[in-house]
């Protein structure tokens, strides 16, 4: 049989080779939906001889996109990944807008406003209009409307309350500002792409198949986009799982499943039932959690792996103790499994980014490397954002907001009053700030406001910095990305700026700057080697205006990659041997051998601000089903405010708790063997496992609140009593797994 189909079960094979033009694959976590989707792409290329640049594949995260590319390359061979139009909805939309945007009046090299940019624009509008709503809320509401394709005018026309009219004005003004600054926000990328495809259906005339992963989380605009993308071919494959729908706050509409069946009556449905990811015990626990949702449709899920170790549900004294416990479990299990597990096999999945601090500190203290996903993203760090802001202005100086952020950073004696005066002047003359300062720097106009000499000097230096960089960019026939970044770092005297501004951690920040340089190097090298930079392939369509790539496009592309990837995750280079800390949201579709979910208490999950508790339950379900072999849920008894917690209602039920053990798993020889089987890895020898056990120093019972229990001849550590926690951060309990 074809190697492509060999590793698939019957239902998966049916899905991969299905002749239906519209296919829905609906199945629970770990049943191989993503695998099936990937194999179908390969099948279309290998068997149906579709050209890869005529296939669009939408995934939810950049990490998922990367994994998918790897899998497809495995089936089809090297090079395919650069030809497919594969990426998140946003990056696919951006590609069409870059290529054909001028058809609907989107100027070339438009910038992308990230969430922070949008917020600061909205904040200024709100302050100006004295509208009493927090910018975050207004931004969320605007985004929600855009996701449903409702413009400010349309919204205003349907509202009666004055308050709503005021909000409509904010929305309207926000749109104006974006336009004036030549920016598109995340929602615009989708909305404008739909507009483009509606007006110019030719753009997709060559597209022969559209495939979408994580379909349950597509919103209305994405649905529209899907329909337009598939207009020529009428061929759509979607895979998804209604039980994992966790993005309704982003206006994802589960209704889209039904809508699709209505819009495409010819669609066929395939269900997958075998789970290839998790141990039997983890699946049982996961099912117990999700089955509390009475409105859901019951589904079959059959484990293919052995029963494995029971998941753990543990109470710990405080969040810090919880963090130490996690670190200890990581160390204990890496030792006891004798080389079977590495740090990159562990994920700590948190409900909200704010919970990560104590865990990060505990990991850092013992020197376990970790990476953050979906927390404070690499590209959101102040020093990185600063450089990127400079690059964005060099690329496209129309954005007042970005310009205001950097004109006096590092200080050039251009104070707030001066900036305010300049902004007002620019507004009165109906030009943007850049044009204004450029003209005065070139002596073409005299500023009306009183500007001190040093301030004028500062402005001139700034203008000069940008101009020389722009010259570099437009003169050369290939963009020297590194040279540009070097220019910014040098001219802003970034290193000494960081030293004087961040006395405590400037070294770490400088290391981040070096990492940015690394990433730019990687990108520049792949371009020099003639490789396509991610997110660029699009078929050429005759008869449409298309932009030729210029040197400056590399910069735009770099910035777009950065901005789009920071939407929910950090794309940061290679993954080393590091523990992953991620929000549960950003972990969707991924899997790890060992998963910790801390802070499982009321207020955290379900979150205190969450209205839809079913969705919060699904979120916990998504978290639990990321685990292959070992799963740990934990809950601190007391919070920092010394308030006592209540265990999350999603597990606080004897019918569910019975599937969890109170103490950590007993990683004995049998457990290691099972784990190896689940992970499909070679199993360490019995002697290795025993040696590893011998290496574990026994905790001193009276000093450390873990006592040793003997359960069926297996060792386990269970928690007795409580810590005497000394604030602010307790010293590491005496429990060393030293290797002597
Ligand atoms: P999720 O809903 O979490 O996104 P999924 O349904 O997309 O899950 P996959 O990620 O595709 O599931 O697959 C889960 C795991 O099972 C992967 O490690 C995959 O390689 C493996 N797998 C899938 N199908 C098979 C199969 N037929 N034989 C062996 N392993 C499989
Ligand atoms: Mg998947």
Identify the CATH homologous superfamily for domain 378-539.
Answer: PCRA; domain 4 (1.10.486.10)
Q: So what's the pLDDT on residue 60?
A: 78
Ligand 1 contact via 273 beta carbon (within 6 Å):
no
Which of these, 686, 682, 659, lies nearest to 670 by C-alpha position?
686
Ligand 1 contact via 29 beta carbon (within 6 Å):
yes
HSE value, Cβ hemisphere, 13 Å, CA-based, for 359: 29
Q: Give the number of the atom of ligand 1 that is nearest the alpha carbon of residue 38.
A: 11
pLDDT, one tens digit per residue, over 412-429 is 999 888 998 998 899 888
Residue 297: alpha-carbon gap to chain centroid: 29
pLDDT, one tens digit per residue, over 251-289 is 666 788 888 989 999 999 999 999 999 999 999 999 999
Residue 561: count other Cβ atoms within 10 Å of its Cβ.
21
Residues with catalytic function:
33-34, 213-214, 244, 626
Strand partners, 372: 581
Instruction: Report DSSP letters for 115-184, one per residue.
Output: HHHHHHHHHHHHHHHT--S-HHHHHHHHHHHHHTT--HHHHHHT--SHHHHHHHHHHHHHHHHHHHTTEE
Question: Which two structure tokens, joined as six digits, stand for 51?
Answer: 């050209």
User: What share of the chain in percent tops pLDDT 90?
Assistant: 43
Residues with CB under 5 A from ligand 2 (ion): 33-34, 589
Phi, psi (rounded to 5 degrees) for 313: -130, 115
Distance 169 CA to ligand 2 centre (A): 41
Take atom 19 of ligand 1 and give the residue whose Cα is closest: 32
pLDDT, one tens digit per residue, over 82-108 is 888 988 898 899 989 988 998 999 987
Residue 497 CA to residue 488 CA, distance in Å, equals 12
Residue 214 CA to residue 246 CA, distance in Å, equals 10
pLDDT, one tens digit per residue, over 616-638 is 999 999 999 999 999 999 999 98
Residue 673 has pLDDT above 90, yes or no: yes
Which of these, 355, 149, 141, lies nearest to 249 by C-alpha position?
141
Q: Domain-by-domain residue ranges, the chain? A: 1-110+189-272, 111-181, 283-369+576-712, 378-539
Residue 675 CA to residue 666 CA, distance in Å, equals 12
CATH of domain 111-181: 1.10.10
Which CATH number does the domain 1-110+189-272 belong to among 3.90.850.10, 3.40.50.300, 3.40.309.10, 3.30.310.80?
3.40.50.300
Higher pLDDT, 461 or 482: 461
Q: Annotation-wise, does 234 bind a ligand? A: no
Residue 734 CA to residue 274 CA, distance in Å, equals 44
Distance 276 CA to ligand 1 centre (A): 6
Q: Annotation-wise, does 534 bind a ligand? A: no
HSE value, Cβ hemisphere, 13 Å, CA-based, for 549: 16
Distance 476 CA to ligand 2 centre (A): 43
pLDDT, one tens digit per residue, over 335-380 is 889 999 999 999 999 988 777 778 888 888 888 998 887 555 567 7
Which CATH number does the domain 283-369+576-712 belong to among 3.90.700.10, 3.90.470.20, 3.40.50.300, 3.40.190.150?
3.40.50.300
Q: So what's the pLDDT on residue 714?
A: 33
pTM of this structure: 0.80
Q: So what's the pLDDT on residue 378?
A: 67
Ligand 1 contact via 18 beta carbon (within 6 Å):
no
Is 111-181 in the same CATH topology as 1-110+189-272? Answer: no
Distance 673 CA to ligand 1 centre (A): 21
Q: Annotation-wise, does 397 bind a ligand? A: no
Which of these, 570, 572, 594, 573, lies nearest to 583 by C-alpha position?
570
């Amino acid at each position: 049989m074809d190697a492509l189909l060999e590793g698939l079960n019957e239902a998966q094979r049916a899905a991969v080779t299905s002749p239906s033009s519209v296919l829905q694959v609906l199945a629970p976590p770990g049943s191989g939906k993503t695998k099936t989707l990937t194999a179908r792409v390969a099948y279309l290329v290998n068997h149906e001889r579709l050209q890869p640049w005529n296939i669009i594949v939408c995934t939810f995260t950049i990490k998922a996109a990367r994994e998918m590319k790897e899998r497809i390359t495995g089936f089809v061979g090297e090079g395919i990944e650069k030809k497919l139009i594969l990426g998140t909805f946003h990056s696919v939309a951006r590609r069409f807008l870059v290529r054909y945007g001028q058809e609907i009046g989107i100027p070339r090299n438009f910038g992308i406003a990230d969430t922070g940019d949008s917020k600061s624009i909205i904040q200024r509008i709100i302050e100006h209009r004295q509208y009493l709503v927090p910018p975050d809320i207004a931004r969320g509401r605007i985004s929600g409307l855009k996701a449903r394709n409702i413009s400010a005018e349309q919204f205003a026309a349907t509202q009666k309350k004055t308050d709503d009219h005021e909000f409509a004005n904010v929305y309207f003004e926000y749109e104006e500002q974006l336009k004036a600054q030549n920016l598109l926000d995340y929602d615009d990328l989708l909305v404008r792409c739909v507009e483009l495809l509606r007006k110019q259906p030719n753009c997709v005339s060559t597209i022969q198949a559209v495939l979408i992963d994580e379909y349950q989380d597509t919103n209305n605009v994405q649905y529209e986009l899907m329909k337009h993308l598939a207009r020529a071919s009428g061929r759509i494959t979607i895979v998804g799982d209604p039980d994992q729908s966790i993005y309704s706050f982003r206006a994802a509409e589960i209704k889209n499943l039904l809508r699709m069946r209505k819009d495409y009556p010819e669609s066929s449905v395939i269900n997958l039932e075998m789970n290839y990811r998790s141990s039997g015990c983890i699946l049982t626990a996961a099912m117990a959690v999700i089955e509390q949702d009475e409105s859901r449709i019951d589904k079959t899920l059959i484990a293919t792996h052995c029963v494995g170790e029971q998941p753990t549900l543990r109470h710990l004294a405080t969040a810090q103790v919880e963090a130490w416990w996690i670190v200890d479990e990581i160390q204990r299990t890496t030792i006891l499994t004798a080389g079977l597990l590495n740090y990159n096999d562990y994920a700590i999945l948190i409900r909200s980014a704010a919970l990560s601090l104590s865990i990060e500190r505990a990991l850092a203290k013992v020197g376990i490397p970790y990476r953050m996903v979906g927390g404070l993203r690499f590209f959101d760090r102040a020093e990185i954002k600063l450089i990127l802001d400079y690059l964005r202005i060099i690329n496209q100086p129309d954005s007042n907001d970005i310009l205001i952020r950097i004109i006096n950073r590092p200080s050039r004696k251009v104070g707030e009053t001066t900036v305010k005066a300049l902004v007002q002047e620019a507004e009165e003359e109906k030009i943007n700030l850049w044009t204004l300062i450029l003209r005065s720097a070139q002596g073409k106009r005299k500023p009306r406001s009183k500007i001190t000499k040093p301030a004028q000097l500062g402005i001139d230096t700034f203008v000069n910095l940008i101009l020389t960089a722009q010259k570099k960019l437009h003169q050369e026939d290939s963009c020297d990305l590194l040279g540009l970044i070097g220019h910014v770092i040098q001219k802003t005297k970034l290193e000494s700026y960081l030293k004087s501004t961040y006395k405590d951690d400037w070294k770490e920040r400088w290391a981040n700057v070096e990492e940015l340089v690394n990433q730019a190097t990687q990108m520049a090298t792949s371009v020099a080697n003639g490789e396509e930079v991610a997110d660029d392939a699009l078929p050429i369509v005759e008869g449409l205006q298309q932009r030729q790539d210029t040197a400056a496009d590399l910069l735009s592309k770099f910035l777009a990659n950065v901005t789009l990837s920071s939407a929910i995750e950090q794309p940061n280079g290679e993954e080393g041997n590091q523990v992953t800390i991620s929000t549960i949201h950003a972990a969707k579709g991924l899997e790890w051998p060992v998963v910790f979910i801390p802070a499982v208490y009321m207020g955290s999950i379900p979150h205190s601000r969450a209205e839809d508790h079913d969705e919060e339950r699904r979120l916990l379900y998504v978290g639990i089903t990321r685990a292959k072999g070992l799963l740990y849920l934990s809950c601190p008894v007391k919070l920092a405010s010394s308030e006592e917690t209540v265990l999350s209602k999603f597990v606080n039920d004897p019918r569910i708790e019975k599937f969890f053990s109170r103490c950590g798993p007993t990683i004995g020889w049998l457990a290691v063997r099972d784990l190896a089987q689940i992970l499909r890895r070679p199993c360490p020898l019995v002697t290795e496992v025993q040696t590893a056990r011998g290496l574990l120093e026994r905790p001193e019972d009276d000093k450390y609140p873990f006592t040793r229990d003997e359960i069926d001849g297996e060792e386990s550590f269970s928690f007795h009593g409580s810590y005497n926690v000394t604030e602010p951060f307790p010293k590491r309990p005496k429990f060393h797994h030293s290797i002597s």
